[in-house]
């Protein structure tokens, strides 16, 4: 299986850099200054023409994030990114169904 960052890059709209934090595996998003955040709303939105360059820079940051790839986003009325597909909605916000809760006996 080919890693996402090694696959042919096909970007047609806005994307954000996604990855998992090395220390604890949490989903993180790339900021404009090259750091990482757990808040999608703060992520740097990347235009299609800058996608290859942004992916290369994010992938090189192996000490802070792993499994880096670009994910499609749409911008809300305030200009903040929201996931553009189901996979990214789940990664950002959790399961799409309510999980059962266990009551203590």
- pLDDT (0 to 100) of residue 4: 52
- pLDDT (0 to 100) of residue 61: 87
Count of residues in the chain = 105
Q: Assign 7 a pLDDT band (cuts: 50, 70, 90).
A: low
Contacts of 39 (CB under 8 A, 6+ apart): 29
- Of residues 28, 79, 80, the one with CA closest to residue 58: 28
- Tens of pLDDT, residues 20-30: 999 999 999 99
- Tens of pLDDT, residues 40-95: 999 999 988 888 888 889 889 888 999 999 999 999 898 889 999 888 888 888 88
pTM of the entire predicted model:
0.78
């Amino acid at each position: 299986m080919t890693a996402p960052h090694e696959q042919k890059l096909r970007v047609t709209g806005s994307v954000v850099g996604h990855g998992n934090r090395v220390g604890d595996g949490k989903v993180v998003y790339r900021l404009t200054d090259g750091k990482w955040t757990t808040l999608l709303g703060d992520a740097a939105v990347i235009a299609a023409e800058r996608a290859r360059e942004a992916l290369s820079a994010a992938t090189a940051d192996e000490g802070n994030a792993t499994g880096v790839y670009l994910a499609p986003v749409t911008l809300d009325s305030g200009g903040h990114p929201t996931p553009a597909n189901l996979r990214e909605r789940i990664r950002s916000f959790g399961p799409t169904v309510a999980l059962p809760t266990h009551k203590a006996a």
